[in-house]
Chains A and B, each alone.
Chain A
Amino acid sequence: MKIFSGIKKIIFSALVLTLTGSIMQGCNNGSGDGNAEVKGDDNTLLGAGSTFVYPLFSKQFSEYNKLNGLKINYQSIGSGGGILQLTNKTVDFGDSDAPLNEEQAKNMGATALHIPMASGAVVISYNVPEVKDTLKLSPDVLADIFLGKITKWNDAKIAAINNGVQLPATSIVVAHRSDGSGTTNIFTDYLSKVSEEWKSKVGKGSSVNWPVGLGGKGNEGVAGLVKQTPGAIGYIELAYAMQNKMSFAKLQNKAGHFITPNLASTSAASNIELPADSKVSLTNTDAVDGYPISGFTWALIYTEQNYNKRSEARAKNLAKLLWWNIHEGQQYCSDLHYAPLSPAAIEVAEAILKTATYNGKIILE
């Protein structure tokens, strides 16, 4: 019996440990006071965040590794996850397709820098087999389609901007992303800017309450829905659409021009006067030749790099890497269908990176 009471004690303590453990875990999560340290040597940097930027980062980092021997381990877990990891201080940098929102910035505890890395665009892809020419869309028409107000392809509003195109009487089937995504955020941000009704009814976010349509998981999900469903229309990342040779519409920008989405028109969208912190939405850009649905992806780092006993060498490595990314690293953008930073964006990114400090001292001279 003695041994039995011994077992009981063990079980009891195990129970208590597990339960308290799970409670602690539960309380800690989200509040984000991370005491976790960034592990590893100073020649291995850790990053996490956006899946959108991942192909570009892996190319850039492998090239940088050949040059400087610095290893970078980037986990593409999604922008939200990257921000959470940076908040918990388990990575050296995060990457997000949207600037930090108020709550995220508050949870960080310290100020974080947003450094633009590249830009991407969202294109409107459609499946109307009867139409051979490239369709033109205006902001109003686009918003009305996604609000469910325009339901047929031969609607007078669509016909008015597509002179001479024979439009069929097919029903429009809207396809959108079902997973939370930076692509959705950029797209709904654009619709909120161009349509008051969209802004009040739906709003912007990485997931929204869609008034109509079918959801597909990931770019491939939406692309699949569009390809398969006659009459479908959906929004897809430019890079994905180009790689898969999908047809996409010309979209009217703020200046009134119908713009074909490509790398040049996406880069052009950010060639405008940018705010000093670069936290700007590029949708509905003022640029005359800019495509109106585009956005930056930002690397996120803490302004003060001395935290959690990080070494100065580590901070320097990080700053140098990002500096390289916005200069030499930009040459890898085009091949991978990312729009390189515009001259105006590089200028702002340089200025931001130069405000990063270690013990209050500027890291990059």
Chain B
Amino acid sequence: MEVWKNIKIKRSFRQIRMEKIFRSSLVLIAISILVLVLAFMLTLIIQSMPSIKALGFGFLYGKTWDPVVNIYGTYPFLLGTLLTSFLALLISIPFSFSIAIFLGEYHPRGWFSEFLKNAIELIAAVPSVIYGFWGLFVLVPLVRSLEIKLGVTPYGIGIFTSSLILAIMIIPYAASLGREMIRMVPASLKEAAYSLGATRYEVIRMVVIPYAKSGLFAGVLLSLGRALGETMAVTMVIGNTSIIPKSIFDPGNTMASVIANEFTEAASTLYLSSLIELGLILFLVTVVINIIGKKVIKRFTTE
């Protein structure tokens, strides 16, 4: 270090100026994103003021959504959003973790793993409206015949169908992140376990997964975020009714799909403002789930 101190590097004035410009533009851009998020939040709050004033907390637990008489309760949609998202997560986790372990631990290289990896990533790139169509024409008849066998009302569309579609859509998020994390597990740890006589399954269970769990969890969180906000595919197969679902085979509705459906023709101020408040709640739900997730990840990693 001493050596470097004594060497004088001559920089031209232009170089110094460039350095400063570069640095300040970085700061500016970073800050502008922050400002944007704050402005989003603020706009949502201000625009939903009329409905907050008129409906108060009743908005959160009200069970009726009736634009004709200006009564707005978001409970059925909140329930629908959480139900579809968590059910989708439940369905997708076994698949995404298996893929992550397979690609990260068993077949990290080779044409087959490349092919599988690209195929998984393609799932994320398909536009959601295509999932909606596929769901409507392929999945719905399948679910309907399942419902006939189970003896429930055979709508075909509903919470369960939406969760299936969502599950497929969110697999790549947890799978990709999980794969990266599993590949980063130091070879020395695994070799140590093998040298003690552990089988491959034991190594995965006792070394790889504990080491990579924060990454796996982060991937699940990312998936959940995607599931909460997904609109188009869900709208097409959920049934869009504001009646509270009694079982997972009943039709329902989610916050995002209500906003997308009703925004264009919301004629009265209170109606429009209620839809914006719905957006605000969706925003807050996502933020809260993210904060909880961050906390959990932190606890896992500091252990």
Contact = CB atoms under 8 A, between A and B. Distances in A.
Interface of A: 3, 6-7, 10-11, 14-15, 18-19, 21-23, 25-27, 29-30, 77-81, 83, 101, 103-104, 171, 173, 178-182, 202-210, 212-217, 221, 224-225, 228-229
Interface size, B (range): 35 or more
A179 B241 contact: no
B43 A22 contact: yes
B268 A209 contact: no
A186 B267 CA distance: 15
7 A-B pairs closest in CB distance: A180-B265, A215-B240, A178-B240, A26-B46, A78-B264, A203-B68, A209-B66
Nearest to B251: A214
A203 B66 CA distance: 10
Contacts of A79: 265
A14 B47 CA distance: 22
Contacts of B240: 178, 214-217
B27 interface: yes
A181 B264 CA distance: 8
Contacts of A178: 235, 240, 253, 257, 261
Contacts of A27: 46
Interface string B8-29: 0000000000001000100110
Contact of B39 (A19, A206, A207, A210): A19
Contacts of A83: 267
Given A207-B266, A215-B241, 12 more contacts: A11-B27, A78-B265, A83-B267, A171-B153, A178-B257, A203-B68, A206-B265, A209-B67, A215-B251, A215-B253, A216-B240, A217-B261
Interface of B: 20, 24, 27-28, 31-32, 35-36, 38-39, 42-43, 46-47, 64-69, 136, 140-141, 144, 153, 155-157, 235-236, 239-243, 251, 253, 257, 260-269, 272
A15 B35 contact: yes
A30 B251 CA distance: 33
A208 B39 contact: no
Contact of A7 (B28, B47, B242): B28
Given A80-B265, A203-B68, A210 B235 contact: no
Of listed A21, A180, A229, residue having the most chain B CB within 10 A: A180
Contacts of A207: 67, 261-262, 265-266
Contacts of A210: 241-243
Contacts of B36: 18
A228 B156 contact: yes
Nearest to A208: B68
B35 A18 contact: yes
A10 B265 CA distance: 40
A22 B47 CA distance: 10
Contacts of A173: 155
Nearest to A31: B269
Contacts of A29: 47
Contacts of B136: 224, 228
A175 B264 CA distance: 20
A30 B20 contact: no
B236 A80 contact: no
12 contacts: A14-B31, A15-B35, A19-B38, A22-B42, A80-B264, A104-B267, A178-B240, A180-B261, A209-B66, A209-B67, A209-B242, A215-B261
Contacts of A3: 20, 24
Nearest to B43: A22
Given A14-B32, A14-B35, A202-B68, A19 B42 contact: yes
A50 to B, nearest CB: 10
A179 B265 CA distance: 8
Given A214-B239, A221-B236, A179 B269 contact: no
A208 B242 CA distance: 10
Given A11-B27, A14-B32, A103 B265 contact: no
Of listed A18, A181, A213, A215, residue having the most chain B CB within 10 A: A215
B238 to A, nearest CB: 8
Given A11-B27, A103-B267, A228-B141, A180 B155 contact: no
Nearest to A24: B46
Nearest to B265: A180
A203 B42 contact: no
Contact of A208 (B66, B141, B235, B261): B66
A215 B269 CA distance: 24
A7 B25 CA distance: 9
Contacts of B27: 7, 11
A344 B67 CA distance: 34
Contacts of B43: 22, 25-26
A198 B160 CA distance: 31
Contacts of A228: 136, 140-141, 156
Nearest to A181: B265
Of listed A178, A204, A206, residue having the most chain B CB within 10 A: A178
Contacts of A6: 24
Nearest to B153: A171
Given A26-B46, A27-B46, A229-B156, A205 B264 contact: no
Contacts of B241: 210, 213-215
